[in-house]
Structures are given as structure tokens and as C-alpha cells.
Structure 1
Amino acid sequence: MPRVIMHMDMDAFFASVEQRDNPAYRGRPLIVGSPPDQRGVVCAASYEARKFKVRSAMPSRTAARLCPEGIFVRPRMDVYRAESARIMAILQEFTPLIERVSVDEAYLDVSAHFTEIPAADLDAAIEAARPMAAEIKRRIRSEIQLTASVGISSNKFLAKLASDLEKPDGLTAIKDSEKIAFLRPLPVSAIHGVGPVTAQGLQALGLMTIGDLQDTPGAQSLESVAGSFATRLRERAFGNDDRPVDVSDERKSISAENTFLTDTDSRPILRTALKEMALDVSQTLAKHGLGALTVQVKVRYSDFTTLTRQLRVEEPVTTERDIYRLACFLLARHRLVTSPLRLIGIGLSTLVDPLQKQLRLPI
């Protein structure tokens, strides 16, 4: 059976929902996030705002400077989650093999629809999936009044790459027989996992395009820049990716953050923020019947330098008190509050069934 993977990605999801619900925002540069007169960041930007180089995670003040005519609206997460549920329900009608990556993005394994096509004729199966992708897009447009971009290929890496190529409202297929030639002219940054630092390191070695990576013998020469990612980097350069579509609905992590209106190193303010976040994440743990074996703290300083530190415990934490205590322990042990903080956060991962045993702090 040929392996056919789709990647569905909503177009500027948060901003598009706001433009759909408020006609006055349509065709206007819309920025979803904190207002520019407050400390905060951009959650999403409409395509009109993106023309001014406004992007998510950018400080709202910077976005306002780049796009003076931008309209700022606060995010309505409950609305976005509800719309996401409707979209995922549509996808479920096409296949139960869905990996939900975020509220607006998912992988679909649709291989079972093409069992009559020989496995050796993978290109034919990928092309045969086009009508299904078009129908998914039509259903989302008709029932949700939003547009989505869909990529089709033989694996997750190529399917996601394809969905990004013709946004918004795109439908792109990358045939397996054409993947190496297709990838050659693309910049190295097109490979998922290659961030700005890795890209700069590769470029310093004269590796500007994916074709340059293809022409580099072995992965060892890439280890000085990419480290343990070097082997996977070379595999991606040839369009190879054996990751399955993960259909488990288990939570992988839980987190909460607080961006302060004014940078602060006040211990009472930081303790209050930590207690509120510890309560937030502990309630999420309780809702899903989980405990956490890994606790992480995140801090961001005035110059936007961001640090994270974590520890692993032997027995799962579940309570607000224990999460708060471990977060304070991490801040103190790593001396993270050496200057005023712009942001502080708590994250939990390695989520497991909770055990009713006493927590012991690591030494």
C-alpha cells in the first residue's frame, strides 16, 4: 500500500476568524495580540499585516511601528478552539489517522484510500489524493467560511513543506520521484528544524541550498554545525522522513506564562506570578488525570534573552504547592533572577499517570 500523507494548515487562522466575524476588519492589516501600549506580543497577523513584516511572537510595540495602520484585537482563544474542533471533525470524516499539531494544523494519513494502487506506484497515489484534498478545502470554506492550505506527499516533512508553498488557499503535491530535484534549489532554512543559527552555520560552510546539502558526502561534515541533528538533516535534504502520523491524543506538555507590564525583579511580584501559573497548570493536570515528571521554568530578560531550566523528579508532581516549590527551586539554583524579567513561565512535561507518593527534591 503506498504511503500518502497530507498536511492541512489553516491560513492566518486567528486573524482570519476575526476578519470573518467582523466585516470591518476584512482587507485591513489585522494584528491579534496585546495592544501596542501594553507589554505583550503578537499572536497572529493577517496577510495584509504580514506585508509590513509583522509576525507572530513579535512585540506588539514593534508591530505597531512596522504597521502604523494596524488594527489590534485581543485573542479570543475559546472561539478559536471551538472553530478548531469543527475543522478537526471535518477531517475525521476523511480518515481517523489524524495527528493534531495545533489548533490550526494537522497531518492526515490517507493511505488506506489508495490500497488498489500498487505500492511501487507512489506518484499515482499522491496524484489520486488531489480530489480528496480539494474536497477538504471546499468543506472548510463552505462550513467554516475560512481557507486552508493542503500539502500532499509521501511523508510528513514533504507534506508540510508542500502546504507552505502556495499559501493562502493552496493545494500542492510533491511526487516522490521528483522530491530530490524539487528540493535542490530551496534554501537550507526550508528544512524543518533548521533555525536562523543553524542556517547561518551552514551558510558559513558554503551550504546555501538543499542541493548543497545533497552534494555534501556523509553527515559527519555537518556535525560541527548541526550536532546530533546532522544525520536527520541529511535525510531531510533527500526528502526522507519515516515519522508516522501520531494519532494519540495524549497531552505532551502543559505550560503557562506571564508577560509583565513593566520589567521586574521584585520577589513578591515574581512569587505571585509563579503561584498563579502553578495553580493554572495543576488544574490542567487534574482535568486530564495526569502528573508530571519534568518541571521547567522559563525567563525572558529586557533584551529578550530567554533561558529555560528544568529538572526531572522520580515521582510525578500534581499539586500547585509542589509545582510552585520546584519552580522556585530552579530559579534559585540557577540564579535566573539576576536582572529584571520581562516574562516568566512554568512548563510541565513527561506527563504520566499520577502516583500518590511523597515528592523528594533532587539533590
Structure 2
Amino acid sequence: MPRVIMHMDMDAFYASVEQRDNPSYRGKPVIVGSPPDKRGVVCAASYEARKSKVRSAMPSRTAGKLCPEGIFVRPRMDVYRAESARIMAILHEFTPLIEQVSVDEAYLDVSALVDENLELDAAIESARPFAVDIKKRIQEQCGLTASVGISSNKFLSKLASDFQKPDGLTVILDRDRVAFLRPLPVGTIHGVGPVTARGLEAMGLVTVGDLQDTESALGPVAGSFAGKLKERAFGIDDRPLDLSDERKSISAENTFSRDTDHRPQLRAALKEMALDVAETLSKHEVGALTVQVKVRYSDFTTLTRQLRLDDPVTSASEIYRVACFLLARHQLVTGPLRLLGIGLSTLVPPTQQQLRLPI
């Protein structure tokens, strides 16, 4: 049976919900997040705001300078989650094989919806009407637009959904994948961050086509990702969809009203966050084998450090102790912090064994 993967991505989801619910916002630059005179970041920006180079995760103060006419709206997470549930219910009308990546993004394996006797490219193309129907239902039932990509794997379908936003529908046939990728910048490939991209560009590898053609070893720049990077350059991706609905991670963050390196204040914030994530662990009846701390400094430099444990942590005191250990071990509080956070991952059934920290 040919493998046909679809990627659905809502268009400027949070901002589009706000524009739908408040007609006076339509056609105007809407920025979801903290107001520009407060500490905080942009959660989402409408396409009108993006024309002024406003992007998510940008400090709200910066967004206000770039887009002084921007309409800043406080996020309504309950509304977005409810809307997400409606959208995912629509997707489940087509297939149960769905990997929900976030509130506004999902992969669908639609292989079973196409004729199994078709050749791969014919099967990919035959999935187009299903994408049209999905987009139509989301528009009619939710009043929102979605962009959809269709191809033979997750990497290409995600790339396709980003290609003609907003309200796009792009199909990448298997025979066209190499040519489609050639002119794109190396940073297009998922897993190539700014540092890796600069390293590749320093080697003269600016486009994906350059990666396809190079005989040079990529290990010095890409490390263990070098092999996968070469595969991605040719549109090869054998990752299966993750169909589990289990929670993958838990986190809590605190953005301080004033940058601080005051130890009592930092410890108090850590304890509060440890209690928060421990309550979530208890609710889901899991423990965490990986604990991460996150710090952001006054210049917005952000660092994370994590520790994999032999036995899962479950209590607030254990989580707090590991977080303090990581901060001290890596000497992360070298100056005032803008943000401090705790993250838990590798969630497993809890045990009663005593926590052991590596020495």
C-alpha cells in the first residue's frame, strides 16, 4: 500500500480566532500576547502584523516598536483549546491515524483512504479531494482557514503545508521531491537551526541543492544529525506517526517583573514551579526520568540544561532538588535572570525507589 501523509496547519491560529470573534480586528495587525508596555512575549501574530516582521516568541516591547499600529490581545487559551478540539474532531472524521503536534497542527496518515493498487504518485494526488474537504469543513464549521500539505512522508508534507500559506494546499509528488527541495535554503530542513545553518553556509552549502551535490563530510557541522540531514536533502523521511495520546512533557515558567539574581526569589520561584509540575505528574499518574531547567538572561540569551535520572521523580521536593542541582552544576545564575523554568520529560509509570543524582 502506498504511504500518503497529510499535514494540516491552522493559519495564524490564535490571531485568526481573535479576528473571527471580533470583526473590528479583521484585516488589521493583531498580536496575541502581553501588551508592549509589559514584560512578556508574542504568542501569535496575524498575517497583517507579520508584514511588519512581528513573530511569535518575540518580546512584546519589540513587537510594539516594529508594529506601532498593532492591536495587542491577551491570549485566551481556553478558547483556543476548545477550538482545537473541534478541529481535531473534524480530522478524526477522515482517519483515526492522527499525530497531533500542537493545538493547531497535526499529521494524518490517509493511506487507507486511497486505492491501494495505485502507484505512489497517483495515490498522493488522489488524496487531494480529502484535503479540499477538510479545509472546507474547518472553514464552514469553525470560520477559520487551514493550510494542508500532502506527500509521502512527514518531512515533505510539513514542508508542503508551509509553502502557500495562508489557506494553502500543496502536493509534493515523489518524482518531484528532489527538484522541489533544490532551491530551498538549508534552514528549511527541520533540525537545521541557526548555528548549523551558519556552519553549512560557511562550507558553501547555502541551498538544499548544495547539500544534495556535496561530497563533503557533514559531521563536523551537523554532528550525529549528518546522516539524517543528507537524507532530508533528498526528501527521505521514514519516521512513523506517533499515534499515542499520552502526554510527552510537562513544564512551568516564571517571567520576573524585574530581572533578578536574588537567590531567595529564585528559590521561591523554583519551589512554586516544582509544585505545579508535580501536581500535573500526579494528575496523570506518571513520573519523569528527565528534568530540565531553563534560564533567560537580560539580553534574551536562553539556555537549557537537563539531567536523565535512573529512577523517575514524582514529588515537588525531588524536582526542586534536581533543578537546584542543575543550576549549580552548570553555573547558570551568572547574572540577573529574566525567566526561569522547569521542564519534565521521558514520562513513565512512577516507582517508589529513592532518587539518585549522578555525581
Distance in 2, Cα, partners of 1:53 & 1:5: 31
Counterpart in 2 of 1:12? 12
Written as runs of structure 1 = structure 2, the 5 A alignment for 1:200-211 is 200-211=198-209
Judge conservation of contact 2:285–2:349 (CA < 8 Å) in 1: yes
* Deviation (angstroms), 1:200: 1.4
4+ residue segments displaced more than 4 Å: none
Paired AA for residue 196 in structure 2: T
* Deviation (angstroms), 1:307: 1.6
Counterpart in 1 of 2:148? 150
* Deviation (angstroms), 1:5: 0.2
Distance in 2, Cα, partners of 1:323 & 1:224: 36
Query: For 1:262, what is the secondary structure of its paired residue?
Result: strand
Counterpart in 2 of 1:297? 293
Judge conservation of contact 1:296–1:347 (CA < 8 Å) in 2: yes
* Deviation (angstroms), 1:71: 0.9
Per-residue CA deviation, residues 188-230 of structure 1 (Å, 9 max, x unaligned), is: 111111122211111111111111111113xx61112111111
Bigger drift between 147-156 and 183-192 goes to 183-192
Q: Normalization by structure 1: what TM-score?
A: 0.97
Query: For 1:261, what is the secondary structure of its paired residue?
Result: strand
Q: CA RMSD of the aligned region, Å? A: 1.1
Distance in 2, Cα, partners of 1:9 & 1:21: 20
Judge conservation of contact 2:189–2:232 (CA < 8 Å) in 1: yes
Counterpart in 1 of 2:101? 101
Counterpart in 1 of 2:44? 44
Task: Give ranges in structure 2 of 5+ residues lacking alignment.
Answer: none
Per-residue CA deviation, residues 276-327 of structure 1 (Å, 9 max, x unaligned), is: 2111111111121110011111111111221212222222111112111221
Paired AA for residue 196 in structure 1: P
Written as runs of structure 1 = structure 2, the 5 A alignment for 1:105-144 is 105-118=105-118, 121-144=119-142
Distance in 1, Cα, partners of 2:150 & 2:116: 18
Task: Give ranges in structure 1 of 5+ residues lacking alignment.
Answer: none
Distance in 2, Cα, partners of 1:232 & 1:202: 15
* Deviation (angstroms), 1:116: 3.5
Distance in 2, Cα, partners of 1:145 & 1:158: 27
Q: For 1:216, which of 198, 203, 214 is the aligned residue?
A: 214
Distance in 1, Cα, partners of 2:229 & 2:92: 32
Distance in 2, Cα, partners of 1:225 & 1:26: 45
The answer to whether the aligner puts 1:246 opposite 2:242 as a matched pair is yes
* Deviation (angstroms), 1:36: 1.0
Counterpart in 1 of 2:31? 31
Distance in 2, Cα, partners of 1:84 & 1:330: 35
Distance in 1, Cα, partners of 2:284 & 2:142: 28
Distance in 2, Cα, partners of 1:356 & 1:57: 39
Distance in 2, Cα, partners of 1:286 & 1:75: 27
The answer to whether the aligner puts 1:165 opposite 2:163 as a matched pair is yes
Distance in 1, Cα, partners of 2:275 & 2:190: 34
Query: For 1:221, what is the secondary structure of its paired residue?
Result: coil
Distance in 2, Cα, partners of 1:79 & 1:210: 39
* Deviation (angstroms), 1:350: 1.1
Query: For 1:91, what is the secondary structure of its paired residue?
Result: helix
Per-residue CA deviation, residues 124-178 of structure 1 (Å, 9 max, x unaligned), is: 0111000000000001001111000000000000000000000000000000011
The answer to whether the aligner puts 1:346 opposite 2:342 as a matched pair is yes
Written as runs of structure 1 = structure 2, the 5 A alignment for 1:268-347 is 268-347=264-343
Distance in 2, Cα, partners of 1:79 & 1:279: 26
Distance in 2, Cα, partners of 1:199 & 1:360: 38
Paired AA for residue 146 in structure 1: L
Query: For 1:332, what is the secondary structure of its paired residue?
Result: helix
Judge conservation of contact 1:117–1:124 (CA < 8 Å) in 2: no
Q: Normalization by structure 2: what TM-score?
A: 0.98
* Deviation (angstroms), 1:98: 0.3
The answer to whether the aligner puts 1:237 opposite 2:233 as a matched pair is yes
Equivalent pairs: percent with the same residue? 79
* Deviation (angstroms), 1:115: 3.7
Distance in 2, Cα, partners of 1:189 & 1:213: 11
Per-residue CA deviation, residues 216-271 of structure 1 (Å, 9 max, x unaligned), is: 13xx6111211111111110111110001110112221111111121001112112
Distance in 1, Cα, partners of 2:210 & 2:240: 27
Distance in 2, Cα, partners of 1:323 & 1:212: 46
